[in-house]
A = this chain, B = another copy of it.
């Protein structure tokens, strides 16, 4: 048991060192860095496509894509108009700070205003790993159901914003947005929930405004 605890501590210590290194770089270059996490298929990439296509008129945006396999998501982001680097974890269930540090030389951070890190689709593992980001954002989608916030508390305790995506499907599904807000408040008083649909574009402006505020704070 002692062995197990020590090793887990070492893994996180190494991760935290790399996270501090990344954070230092991001702070120095005043790059707003957002770590986006969710279940597979909650719509992170589609949200980023919409975000890139609108906000790239104002900001220089870059994206790091995390996946087990394929270059599919990075290709989608490039088509939307941002530089994207794909990390394949080859089975690993989350990104860690060293993987991020390893690809940072591919960006000129002085020329990047906003960097999104799209984590591996997983509602468990990514929450434990600091990547050096300024903000952690979780995406929850309506078809996943109302029970996800209480059932995966670690994720939602550690994020400061929840984008409730696919609200265009609300008429066809039993999902109570007010209950989701109450559940979130119950485990994390400082988190906010913004209902959005990357498809119908409803609510996206609230998300963009949130990014604008975060960007302003990051420049101070």
Contacts and interface: CB of A to CB of B under 8 A. Distances in A.
A148 B70 CA distance: 11
B141 A122 contact: no
Nearest to A145: B41
Nearest to A168: B172
A29 interface: no
Given A68-B151, A121-B123, A169 B166 contact: no
Interface in A3-50: 7, 39-41
Given A40-B148, A121-B39, A124-B68, A91 B154 contact: yes
A40 B69 CA distance: 20
Contacts of A147: 70, 72
A72 B120 contact: no
Nearest to A72: B147
Interface in A113-131: 120-125, 128
A153 interface: yes
A144 B40 contact: yes
A152 interface: yes
A67 interface: yes
A134 interface: no
A203 interface: no
B120 A41 contact: no
A24 to B, nearest CB: 27
A25 to B, nearest CB: 26
A143 B166 contact: yes
Contacts of A153: 68-69
A150 interface: yes
Interface of A: 7, 39-41, 67-70, 72-73, 91-93, 120-125, 128, 141, 143-145, 147-148, 150-154, 166, 168-169, 172
